[in-house]
Amino acid sequence: MPIRCEIVSQDRLVYEGEADIVLVPGVRGEMGILPNHAPLLSTLSLGILKVRYQNEERVFTVTGGVIEVQPDLVTILADAAESVEEINVMRAEEARKRAEEYLKAGPPKESDAYTAMEAALRRSTLRLEAVKRYRTKRPGAMVDTSSKETD
Ligand code: ATP
């Protein structure tokens, strides 16, 4: 029996589906949630979340949040979450550039703005790294008239 997985961010339902295992970025490292897991409520760090089901793996970036586990349901309430396939690379690059330039200008380190820009840099870097490492070439992403359609 699989476990149901729901990923909800502040502004939308990011994913819902079945899972054989959900791997989440816990505060003490990666945590694997299997079906029939004991009830759990815990904090999530910024990092990579993976949903594996029947030889398929979906990869998401999460910027932090909360995970609630019941034996048949894992709910992720994320500050922000997106699948690697839907990350807008240009937007993340611009966010990273903005943050790097701000931090390079040497603002006071104790300021709220400094802390916020450091966090923005971590988010954008995570998104860009995730795309590099996990984004797959989907069928149809490239036009190749010489090959036969396989899907
Ligand atoms: P930006 O400065 O580009 O707005 P951010 O890190 O401040 O980025 P967040 O506050 O983490 O953005 O997220 C706000 C919403 O935008 C969330 O729904 C998040 O999933 C989405 N989002 C942020 N960056 C991207 C991106 N590069 N591609 C797709 N969705 C994104």
Residue spans of the domains in the chain: they are: 3-83, 88-134
Report residue 22 as tokens. 């959900």
CA–centroid distance, residue 39 to ligand 1 (Å): 30
Q: Which atom of ligand 1 is nearest to the CA of 123?
A: 6
Q: Which atom of ligand 1 is nearest to the CA of 120?
A: 6
pLDDT on residue 141 = 53
pLDDT on residue 110 = 86
What is 3-83's CATH number?
A: 2.60.15.10
pLDDT on residue 86 = 95
Report residue 77 as tokens. 């309430």
* Ligand 1 in reach of 80 Cβ (< 6 A): yes
50: helix, coil or strand?
strand
Rounded to two decimals, the pTM is 0.90
Provide the b/e sequence for 40-69 (b: ≥16 CB within 10 Å): eeeebebbbbbbbbeeeebbbbbbbbebeb
User: Which residues of the chain have a pLDDT value below 50?
Assistant: 142-145, 147-151
pLDDT on residue 150 = 47
CA–centroid distance, residue 120 to ligand 1 (Å): 9
